[in-house]
Amino acid sequence: MAIEVFNRYENKYLMDTAAFHRLYDRLLEHMEPDEHNRDRQFYTISNLYYDTEHDSLIRTSLAKPKYREKLRIRAYGVPEPDAKVYLELKKKVRGLVNKRRTALTLGEAYAFAGTGVAPPSQPYMNGQVVSEIAYLLSRYSLEPKVYLAYERIAMFCKQSRDLRITFDTGIRSRRSDLRLESGDHGELLLPEGQWLMEVKAEKTVPMWLARLLSEQGLFRTSFSKYGNEYKRMLQASST
């Protein structure tokens, strides 16, 4: 069964393709690729973010309060209309990221996020997470706002599954045709050849990784895919 509850700290780094290859090869000394990346093959993640009419969730998030939350539907690749997807509630409390998700069919996810009415319970659902998302939807009137997709390579630490590193590239978005089954096309959010690395750990990162990042001249940055897309949209609308 896929993990449906995550509690971890996430640090982000931006780099170019050359830096990615240098770092990836060194990481293989301590980490192993995700089962979907055994031959350095990417897998595509597609997301549909929900927000209020006036974008209150992302505007609150960009203000960096102690508590913030987001709701999205996530699929791997371009889903068929009857495919299983994840409806995810992502919270950040004092720097700790808490992600809770439940499997649903794509139709169930659309209906739940759009109406706030929880679907009838099924064995593949996480009932506790469904209840928590229902509570969020009782507090906000949400609608689909932005589609975001990217190619990902993921790695796990050989000694501890508590450490995970992901590399995302080809990050793209659109604000029309907001259906996950409509394809993974969109406008690039970062220049071609740029990568976003996320280090995800339940505790502090191991010393070997801290040294490696320092050797490679990589430093933490603040980067939210949805947040940066929203800021770009505001800039475009003001010109």
> Nearest CA to 75 among 98, 46, 53, 51?
46
Determine the Cα–Cα distance for residues 207 and 181; give it in Å rounded to an integer: 42
The band of 86, judged by pLDDT with boundaries at 50, 70 and 90, is very high
Helix H or strand E segment including 156: strand 143-157
Report the percentage of the chain scoring pLDDT > 90: 84
Determine the Cα–Cα distance for residues 14 and 152; give it in Å rounded to an integer: 14
Q: Are 61 and 225 in contact (CB under 8 A)?
A: no
Determine the Cα–Cα distance for residues 61 and 147; give it in Å rounded to an integer: 18
Q: Express each pLDDT in 205-238 by its tens digit.
A: 899 999 999 999 999 999 999 999 999 999 998 8
Mean pLDDT of 96-111: 96
pLDDT of residue 238: 82
pLDDT of residue 1: 42
pLDDT of residue 101: 96
pLDDT of residue 95: 84
Query: What is the fold of 5-238?
Result: mRNA Triphosphatase Cet1; Chain A (3.20.100)
Q: Are 172 and 147 in contact (CB under 8 A)?
A: no
pLDDT of residue 239: 74
Q: Express each pLDDT in 164-182 by its tens digit.
A: 999 999 999 999 999 999 9
Q: Express each pLDDT in 197-206 by its tens digit.
A: 999 998 888 9
Helix H or strand E segment including 163: strand 163-174
Q: Which long-range contacts (CB under 8 A, 24 or more apart) does 225-229 make?
A: 225/148, 225/150, 225/171, 225/173, 225/189, 225/196, 226/49, 226/58, 226/61, 226/70, 226/146, 226/148, 227/58, 227/61, 227/62, 228/189, 229/146, 229/148, 229/173, 229/189
Residue type, 73: I
Give the relative orientation of helices 106-115 and 127-139 as an angle to the nearest 10 degrees. Answer: 40
Mean pLDDT of 104-131: 97
Q: Are 189 and 173 in contact (CB under 8 A)?
A: yes
Q: Report the mean per-residue pLDDT for the chain.
A: 93
Tokens found for residue 124: 């593949």
Q: Would you say residue 37 has pLDDT above 90?
A: no
For 81-102, what is the HEC assignment?
Answer: CCCEEEEEEEEEECCEEEEEEE
